[in-house]
Structure 1
Amino acid sequence: MIRPLLRHLIFSACLPLLVPASLAAQPASSAPDLHGSGEVVITTGGGSWEAAQRQAYFEPFEKETGIKVVLVPGDRGKLLASIERGQPDADLTNLSAGTITSFIKRDALEKIDYSYFDAETLDGISPVLRHEYGVGAILYAVVMAYNEADYPADKPRPQTWADFFDVKAYPGPRGLSGCGDRLISGGNLEFAMLASGADKKSIYPIDLDRAFAMLRKLQPDVGRWWQMGGEAPQGLIDGELAVSTAFNGRIYSARQQGAKVGLTWHHALVQYDYWVVPKHSPNVVNAMKFLAFVSRAKPQAEFANLMAFGPVNRKAYTYIRPELMDWLPGSPKNADEVVYQDYRWWTATGPDGKTNWERAMARCVSELAR
């Protein structure tokens, strides 16, 4: 399910480093009218996510263009099988930046036609989020979060990843993501590198020996290896954990409900998802029109105001509630603090034919058994 904009410049300057230049789509000189007919079929996860998309994206899109939005349950495996049959179950879905490469390798995605996007929209979106096969959907981040009962305002709170790994100076059980699907999205290896002395520009390539040595040292003090996004904040609320990695949106939601939890943005790990169009989509033109519409600043801001995910269009911050600025990974207030995850490194294949993710996974299971 999941991102900054240094006074609008760091975001543009740093993000292009994460993907090859050949994958960054070029802006179009003009954009056609988005009005149309028929439908566009989009996967949905239901719940508050779907409700926010309806309000920010689906209903305004239908009203402006005349194109009907049809929703179907999101099931990545089922969708991929339907794509391989040449009859995709949907015209649009979301993929994490760590997953899109596997779909591209299977020739499962259409290229994005950026000629449907107006120049102002394209100018607000960093090149890495204008992928050849996907348009940025959201930014989110893994942050260091803490229980304010363990670390009240009048006492020192852990601020750096070195602090997180220092249980003598900052005692209390830790929360970290486990192996499996969370090995990449949980950020453990990146945080271990930072704790061991790497600066934000020298995390990659990750030194697996160095990172796992740090994690093994901390292992006796890990009170929970979380997999579901809600586990980390709940562990903090229940007092099971003193400090934990967690998704920024989960901590924001907990705070909104009165929980005494806080976070720091120092070296938080920013991640992002893409909108993608499955290969052989029967409504490919309508899908491109939808992407052009929802990438505009105002729909992006509307969704961010509802769900506290960072918009991919930096111009959206003009319309975002001021009190939300401290909680979004793409906010100008947080631009100097964060690190962007390098998905190229994670998906790179070595001479043995294995990706860095596969090598790291084998070590995670054997050395941490989590």
Structure 2
Amino acid sequence: MRKTLILTTALIAAGAAAGAQEINVISWGGAYTKSQVEAYHKPFTALTGIRVNSIDADNPVVPLKAQVEAKNVTGDLFDIELSDAVRLCDEGMLEPINPAMLPPAPDGTPATEDFLDGALSECAVATIFWSTVFAYDASKFTGEAPSTIADLFDTAKFPGKRGLKKGPKGTLEMALMADGVPASEVYAVLATPEGVDRAFAKLDTIKASVVWWEAGAQPAQLLADGEVIMATAYNGRIFDAIAAEGKPFQIVWDGQYMDFDLWAIPKGAPHLEDALKFLAFSTDTQRLADQAKWISYGPARRSSAALVGLYQDGKTEMAPHMPTNPANMGNALLTDFEFWADHDSELNARFAAWLAG
């Protein structure tokens, strides 16, 4: 195994001298991109000499599709969600990725056995497990505070503005759970016209109280500015606001919506060979564990879990803040990527019409 790692490192370093000296990586910005820069970009450049240009997008799938459709691809790797990866792969917009190119675990376990179920697809490789949760500013509550997903939708019990993601994915699922649908039954309900109507009917109950957000940094800012009393948000962004900025925020894990983020390479990537080197490097066991020093997203490899330790402050244990911590999984919902790959367009259209109405 040691020889394999030494050989892999040598090949990456040797290949850099003959290949392109930069790659363009498009991700979500903020604390999340910072975690990638520290765990992946900097050590990769130190090893290979290849510069990693980090480019932010509110949702990287949007520029990915636009570039491929225009046949003017400038990005080499894009960080996208699982259902988008499956759909774009089916549409021929992504390069296929052979899992045999991925490094094994330190004990020699092949990558195909080491990655979590669902983390590897034909055209993408997962790096992290994340979730959409909701959070509130604890300093604004002197009595009872929100504790369940139903409280997010209860404006009688907790009056005030809510921050919700401006899109159906995750939002519809959380609406159904708030309406009493168990996590295990959400997609069976949402697969029916009546279930979709039920989700939108639940959203109707708070529509007048919603401040819509689109970028991952917005919910924490909405809470900090007092524009909303609670907001859905990516769990890592709220953790960063708490741990790095000292914000008095509290995460409610009940009803969390879980998903993978994955690296995908668009058809026509200008620096394909070096993009593949970066993808292999950034998804090894140590690199995925290193990312967890910077943000509370779970590594996509089983062998990384034991290496997850303290936050960058050197004192905060990261395990309790991960979506996959057993204490946080009581009513958790894992995204159904096949459902969204099949229904994304129609539900986005329905959501846009509902917003306009």
| Aligned mate of 1:343, from 337, 342, 348 | 337
Asked if residue 149 in structure 1 is aligned to residue 134 in structure 2, the reply is no
8 A Cα contact 2:285 2:301, kept in partner: yes
2:318 to 324, 344, 360: 324
The one-character-per-residue Cα deviations of 1:233-281 (angstroms, maximum 9, x if unpaired) are: 2222233322221221221122131222111111211122211122354
> Shift of the alpha carbon at 1:190?
0.5
Question: If the length of structure 1 is used for normalisation, what is the TM-score?
Answer: 0.76
Unaligned runs of 5+ in 2: 311-315
Q: Distance in 2 between matches of 1:84 and 1:277?
A: 14
CA distance in 2, matches of 1:310, 1:297: 12
Matches of 2:117 and 2:196, distance apart in 1: 29
Partner of 1:172: 160
Structure 1 counterpart of 2:292, one-letter code: A
How far apart are the structure 2 equivalents of 1:161 and 1:82? 38
Tell me which residue corresponds to 2:250: 262
C-alpha deviation, 1:201, in angstroms: 0.8
After superposing the two structures, state which structure 1 stretch, 73-82 or 104-113, moved more: 73-82
What does 1:40-119 align with in structure 2 at a 5 Å threshold?
A: 41-44=23-26, 51-64=34-47, 66=48, 68-71=50-53, 73=55, 80=65, 83=68, 88-119=73-104
What letter is aligned with 1:317? A
Cross-structure match for 2:290 = 302
Match for residue 174 of structure 2 among 191, 212, 218:
191
Unpaired runs of 5+ residues, structure 1, are: 1-29, 349-355
From the superposition, tell whether residues 134 and 368 of structure 1 become closer, same or farther in structure 2 (CA, over 3 Å): same
Question: What is the deviation of 1:199?
Answer: 0.6
> 2:313 matched to which residue of 1?
none
The superposition leaves residues 337-362 of structure 1 with CA deviations (integer Å, 9 ceiling, x where unpaired) of 421112221221xxxxxxx3333334
TM-score, normalised on structure 2? Answer: 0.78
Tell me whether 1:244 sits opposite 2:231 in the alignment. Answer: yes
Rounded to whole Å, the distance in 2 between the matches of 1:87 and 1:358 is 24
Residues 332 and 42 of structure 1: is their aligned pair in 2 closer, same or farther, counting only changes over 3 Å? farther
Deviates more, 1:230-239 or 1:246-255: 230-239
Q: Alpha carbons of 1:73 and 1:285: their partners in 2 closer, same or farther (altered >3 Å)?
A: same
After TM superposition, the structure 1 stretch with the greater mean CA deviation from structure 2, 238-247 or 125-134, is 238-247
Distance 1:100 1:168, change over 3 A: same
Counterpart of 1:274 in structure 2 is: 262
Q: Could you say which residue in structure 2 is the equivalent of 1:4?
A: none
Cα separation, 2, equivalents of 1:264 and 1:47: 22
Give the number of aligned pairs: 325
CA deviations 1:55-106 (Å, max 9, x no partner) are 3223433455x46244364676665566467774344222222322442243
Matched position secondary structure for 2:134:
strand
**Equivalents in 1 of 2:179, 2:293: separation in Å?**
36
Alignment correspondent of 2:8: 33
Q: SS in structure 1 opposite 2:130?
A: strand
**Maintained 8 Å contact 1:301/1:316:** yes
Query: Is it true that 1:312 corresponds to 2:295 in the alignment?
Result: no
Q: CA RMSD in A?
A: 3.0
- Tell me: CA distance 1:170–1:104, structure 2 relative to 1, closer, same or farther (3 Å): same
Distance 1:347 1:135, change over 3 A: same
Q: 1 CA distance for matches of 2:103 and 2:347?
A: 41
Return the offset for 1:158. 1.9
